[in-house]
Structure 1
Amino acid sequence: MKTITVGEREIREVVSMKEAIDAVRQGFVDLAAGEFEMPTRTALRDGQFLVMSAHHRPTASAMFKTLSVNFERKPAIAGTVIWSETGHLDHLVADAGSVTALRTGAVVGVATDLLAPPEAGRLTLIGAGGQAPDQVRAVHAVRPLCQLTVVDADLGRARDLVERLAPELAGVELLTATDAVPAVRQADIVCCATNATTPLFPESALPEQVHVNAIGAYRPTMRELPDELLAGSTVIVDELDAILEESGEIIHALESGAITRDALTELGTALSAPSPDHGKRTVFKSVGVAVQDWAVARLLADRFLA
């Protein structure tokens, strides 16, 4: 028996964003088909410590992730992802921060590919932290960008992110801002990746047709989107049980009466629906679920445990 340890460099070298998007998409289709055993994650100290697991019945494989979250440090996310199969003695242990960023980007790529208009090319990204680069990479992979605006209260941090991404975004107009409201007015796609506790912009600031991804708020006390946006949009969520327990936006909108549970559709169900008609405004809300980590870990296992 041996344990293979995989760090950030190896993860980035062997798993492309396109591969991660394809793997996560299939993972959600399998989740909707009942092929996973996936408990709601354990959150300790109000989400500063998280434990997640997923078991894929057809392959008798499982993923276990433990991590700590602290927005005052860099990187904010630290921990391990463990991959195991009943048919093999070898295990894989991967850096949880890298896997989390990659799989969070990938699910946004899946949702954007499903929900954003085919011609969408202007992205406004709110938040320039650790999850931000893969948000851009994922959207760009499914909707080639013509314009990117990065919004952050720290303009220097926004500029640093744009400079880092510039080599990957040849021909894309790159802008930075500190105010989200004017930045979202002309966007085709908006990605929210912050630790905000109040909405980042009013619903009225958005164009009539727009797709919004919100991945930053993962606790009931956190909130990036206003009730009015959720009430007037088609809302897709990663997994209903997790959303109802952890998503501040959804919990607030339900309690205020802005939406009902019937308004929420799981991503796996939406992916399996023939020719969905999603309307002019769409929202994808994710708190992050273990099937995403399983999908990326499986790609790593295929390469390092083969």
Structure 2
Amino acid sequence: MAEAIAAVRDGFIGLARGDFEVPVRTALCDGRFLVMSVHHRPTATAMVKTLSLNFEGRVPAIDGTVVWSDLAGTDHLVADAAAVTTLRTGAASGVATDLLAPPNASHCLLIGAGAQAADQARAMYAVRPLQRLTIVGRSAGRAQALANQLAEELPRVSVVVGTDVRDVLGDADLVCCATTSTEPLFELEQLRPEVHINAIGSYRPTMRELPDPILADATVYVDEVEPVLQESGEVIHAIAAGALAESELTEIGAALLSGAAATGRTVFKSVGVAVQDWAVAQLLARD
């Protein structure tokens, strides 16, 4: 995870500098099929990912293929898209958390226990002195299974399963939302004055993890503005309601370049960009 976070951080910085050619991804069947591609100009390498998403009972919920190519040679790296996607999404949250969260943040609330959840927790562990991890999911069984798995991986962390988000929010200084919810998961009044939120679950306009008042109150960072405006249900809703302006969205790459530190409540909203996949794929290709 630490290597993936470093690679994705470099990718975001490269995106801000204009090092990448990134077409808008193709979304079919209301976002259930995705095709993402990217070209890294300095190295003449490219990545194409094809993905299908089905969170309604299919196992695995994320399936597809990543292909990484280099103009200097004829070999291609082919990798499992589910593994790359969960790792790069966790790494992106790790980059944002490392930049934006309080340095001493030690209690993470993880909402969701599905395919993306474990790498969100691993990323928080990699960048902050995590002592407590509370998992709340729709399925108590899946949440407990994830808690058992992470308790073995994260030895210094007390990992517990919660039953109600509202019971935990006032105590958490890190919140990771990894759900397919179409309704906000909690309200502004339930949050601490200084809290960092990673919202990575929603990737369609019909999906929404955060309510308008949180986006109005917090400093909002995104992976890339254009796809967020097209695909993030919470951002689309907040702008339409007048709670948020497009000009208030800051790309994480630009923030990394400027080194600007945020205070108060911060949100990182990610719908996923191909640069993140390229960053992990080039690590695999290098090895």
TM-score class, shorter-chain normalisation, is over 0.9
1:295 aligns to what?
Answer: 279
CA contact (8 A) 1:233 1:279 kept: no
SS in structure 2 of the partner of residue 148 of structure 1:
strand
In 1, the alpha carbon distance for the partners of 2:160 and 2:169 equals 12
How far apart are residue 171 of structure 1 and its match? 2.5
Name the counterpart of 2:192: 207
Match for residue 228 of structure 1 among 199, 209, 213: 213
Whole-angstrom distance in 2 between the partners of 1:278 and 1:115:
6
Which one-letter code corresponds to 2:242 in the other structure? G
Secondary structure in 2 matching 1:212: strand
1:113 corresponds to 2:122: no
1:280 paired residue among 247, 259, 264: 264
- Asked if the contact 2:111/2:178 (under 8 Å) is kept, the reply is yes
The 5 Å alignment of 1:1-306 reads 17-71=1-55, 72-274=57-259, 276-303=260-287
Q: Shift in Å at residue 236 of structure 1? A: 0.3
SS at match of 1:222: coil
Gaps of 5+ in 2: none
Runs of 4+ deviating beyond 3 Å: none
> How far apart, in 2, do the equivalents of 1:171 and 1:57 lie?
42
Distance 1:226 1:279 in 2: 20
Q: What letter corresponds to residue 156 of structure 2 in structure 1? A: G
Q: Does the Cα contact within 8 Å between 2:100 and 2:261 map onto a contact in 1? A: no
Q: TM-score, normalised by structure 1?
A: 0.92
TM-score (norm 2): 0.98
Deviations 1:219-250 (A, max 9, x none): 00000001100000110000000100000010
Identity among equivalent positions (%) equals: 61
Give the length in aligned residue pairs: 286
CA positional deviation for 1:116: 0.3
Measured in 2, the distance between the counterparts of 1:197 and 1:187 equals 23
Between the aligned partners of 2:244 and 2:7, the Cα distance in structure 1 is: 31
Distance in 2, Cα, partners of 1:112 & 1:277: 11
Say what the alpha-carbon RMSD is for the aligned residues: 0.7
